[in-house]
A = this chain, B = another copy of it.
Amino acid sequence: MTPDLKQEIHQKKPFKSLHQEAQLNIVRTSNLLVDSFEQMLKPYGITGTQYNVLRILRGAEPEGLCRNEVRERLLNRMPDATRLLDRMEEGGLVTRARSGEDRRLVTTRITKKGRHLVDSLDEVVEKKHRQQLGHLTEQQLRTLIKLLTQVRNPD
């Protein structure tokens, strides 16, 4: 029998409500997926957030994006995107240049090095996603995506 969350986290008492059980299931599952994903990235010297930035900037070529645009596209809140990009610039993964049209803007772009890194990760990332979710049927994945989309969009 597959253990449910209550057993997983050694909880004795029942959940207070179905809402709570669902919330904890979402958060717990996400944490497990993210931990394992970041573990996979470690040998490549980047964090999960940095990987996301590279993926975003690869998709935004050749124009690049300014700091706030990168931040909006991230999966997670990122109050200090400046220093996240600082570190990636130091690591040679991105470049930044102040815009000529609006001198407040700083356009960030992926470097050749960053591009090679993220390209080389495509295969292991997809393999990891399959490992994490490949045991669900296509129908189950679609249902899951639909329900989570609905969670994020209360009407």
Contacts and interface: CB of A to CB of B under 8 A. Distances in A.
Contacts of A91: none
A3 B148 CA distance: 12
A20 B10 CA distance: 30
Copy count, this protein chain: 2
Interface of A is mostly: helix
Interface of A: 2-5, 8-13, 16-35, 37, 59, 69, 72-77, 122, 125-126, 129-130, 132-136, 138, 140-145, 147-155
Q: Which of A32, A148, A155 has the most CB of B within 10 A?
A: A148
Q: Which 6 A-B pairs have the closest CB atoms?
A: A30-B30, A19-B129, A2-B153, A25-B148, A19-B133, A135-B154
9 contacts: A18-B138, A18-B142, A19-B129, A19-B132, A27-B76, A28-B152, A29-B30, A144-B147, A144-B151
